[in-house]
Chains A and B, each alone.
Chain A
């Protein structure tokens, strides 16, 4: 924590930026989403190069929204050739790519690529403007066929239905996945045989899980032993890279943090008659989750040492 104070100024800036985003996001009607998970992320500040990634998160969200309207627009235009709208053509191919990427990653943001960050400021402004424009345009287009007696197309009806749905419950519909944002695990090698997971407790706090539970899971998955030391960092036996730990964390989040029904991370894990249950705060569903078992462990150490221990 002491270290954090030193680096505070730079972070302050970031935070400010971040809230700026949030305002925008709110304008675009989705306050409920970006609150709960992000708050803890912002509160703790440790500085790492990866931290830069963090302000990308809202950006990602924004992107998505823009994308949405884009697609619809495109559809509409193909449906109604008579519409005369200018759209910056350079922007077009980009959202699609991103769609792919976003679908692939488990909606858990450990790290976005740097390249997105560079684009951020410019794009953000553009996106904001366009958002507004597009919305207006979309409404105009609807008017087009409502007033005339010409046949409407499927795309138009689809668009209309989605617009209504979006209007009624903002943020929930539109297939937009909720991003689960957390800072990446800091994994450092200690010597040759051990690995330190520095922000272990912090991540536990972000996930709202008992450190012991996460610890059990990590050790069982990695098939090693380890413990939390005095500086609240986790020391794991064996060599592990950040990426590998990330993978395991992703799996943990998928199984024990996000709701299996609505995938919201706003859940509580409680123990009930020897079984763990995941209670969702958003949709109210409750389901049991797999217990953590380390399973079969092969003998990897010196057999002589084991024999000596038993005897």
Chain B
């Protein structure tokens, strides 16, 4: 049995972990951006880096019949991009697959 008091404690462990995760307050932001004409782009920011985003995007592409990609961003980590207004779809899908809790989702845009 080890002595509790002698264990080393890294005070910055939390900070490092959260900076790696890049999930500020655990929210997943779903945004929409307008492109040319009536085309739009949906971005999903803040998904935990524990998940394999490539696999997620592959599943989404198939499910919503749209193209999509994973973009690496220095500040926000990996961000999902999907073509078209997939906000409803992605919210439903994420909650249904259990990746994100409904209260963690934050949908932006009009």
Contacts and interface: CB of A to CB of B under 8 A. Distances in A.
Interface stretch (B8-16, B25-33, B92-100): B25-33
A17 B38 CA distance: 43
Contact of B81 (A221, A238, A298): A298
A223 interface: yes
A41 interface: no
B110 A296 contact: no
How big is chain B's contact interface, by range? 10 to 19
B108 interface: yes
B79 A300 contact: no
How big is chain A's contact interface, by range? 10 to 19
Contacts, number: 52
Interface centre among B36, B38, B71, B108 (most CB of A within 10 A): B108
Contacts of A298: 33, 41, 43, 71, 79, 81
A295 B33 contact: no
Contacts of B41: 298, 300
B76 to A, nearest CB: 5
Given A240-B110, A300-B41, A223 B76 contact: no
A287 interface: no
A107 B38 CA distance: 31
A239 B34 contact: yes
Contact of B34 (A220, A224, A243, A245): A224
A247 interface: yes
Nearest to A300: B35
A223 B79 contact: no
B73 A223 contact: no
Interface in B63-110: 71, 73, 76, 79, 81, 108-110
A248 interface: yes
A291 to B, nearest CB: 10
A223 B31 contact: yes
Nearest to A290: B25
Nearest to A251: B108
Contacts of A223: 31-34, 108-109
Contacts of B35: 300
Interface in A236-278: 238-241, 243-245, 247-248
Contacts of B79: 296, 298
B104 to A, nearest CB: 14
B110 A245 contact: yes
A83 B92 CA distance: 53
A222 interface: yes
A238 to B, nearest CB: 4
A53 to B, nearest CB: 21
17 contacts: A220-B108, A221-B108, A221-B109, A222-B109, A223-B32, A223-B34, A239-B38, A241-B110, A247-B110, A295-B76, A296-B43, A296-B71, A296-B73, A296-B76, A296-B79, A298-B43, A300-B36
Given A223-B108, A297-B33, A298-B41, 4 more contacts: A221-B108, A224-B33, A238-B34, A295-B76
